[in-house]
Amino acid sequence: INCGTENIILGLPWLQENNPVVDWRMGTLSIDEKTDRSKELRCNISSVAVEEPTMNLVLLQKITMATELAQEEHKKKPKVVLPKDYKDFTLVFKKPSDGVLPPSQPYDHAINL
């Protein structure tokens, strides 16, 4: 179905029934070729005009940006692999939580400086 420059709204029931694949960069929506409805909607998804950004859109934009930043930060962190020889000492090498002291023990002592 070619929708040209017209905007379309697809309802959740239709989306659930057809389970399309959306390519947001290309602005296409494809339906599996195995179904009777195997047609491709070629709409310019990015051309949908919004008079004023609504709170939901602004919030969604912030959430999306935060998610992308978190994913990038996660990719940067190298995974630490403990050698098998040290498996019994996993707790020793585990990083403590920031700002959290270990539980008080009977052998705690003060260090007077």
Residue 14 and residue 28: Cα distance in Å, rounded? Answer: 16
Helices (H) and strands (E) in the chain, counts: 3, 3
11 or 64, higher pLDDT: 11
* DSSP run (H or E) holding 91: helix 90-93
Nearest Cα to Cα of residue 7 among 64, 50, 66: 50
HEC profile for 31-59? CCCCCCCCCEEECCHHHCCCCCCCHHHHH
pLDDT for the residue 25: 78
**What is the model's pLDDT at position 42?**
44
List, for residues 83-113, the tens digit of each pLDDT value.
Answer: 888 888 887 777 766 667 777 778 777 778 8
- The predicted structure's pLDDT at residue 46: 47
5 domain-assigned: no
Q: How confident is the model at residue 106, as a pLDDT? A: 80
Please give the pLDDT value at position 18: 79
Q: Is residue 61 part of a domain?
A: yes
Which pLDDT value is given to residue 68? 75
Domain that holds residue 43: 12-76
Query: 29 with 14: CB under 8 angstroms?
Result: no
Q: Is residue 103, in this structure, part of any structural domain at all?
A: no
66 with 60: CB under 8 angstroms? no
3-state secondary structure of 110: coil
Q: Is residue 86 part of a domain?
A: no
112 occurs within a structural domain = no
* In-domain check, residue 36: yes
Q: How many domains does the chain have?
A: 1
Give a yes or no: residue 100 inside a domain: no
Question: Residue 26 domain-assigned?
Answer: yes
pLDDT band at 7 (very low <50, low <70, confident <90, very high): low
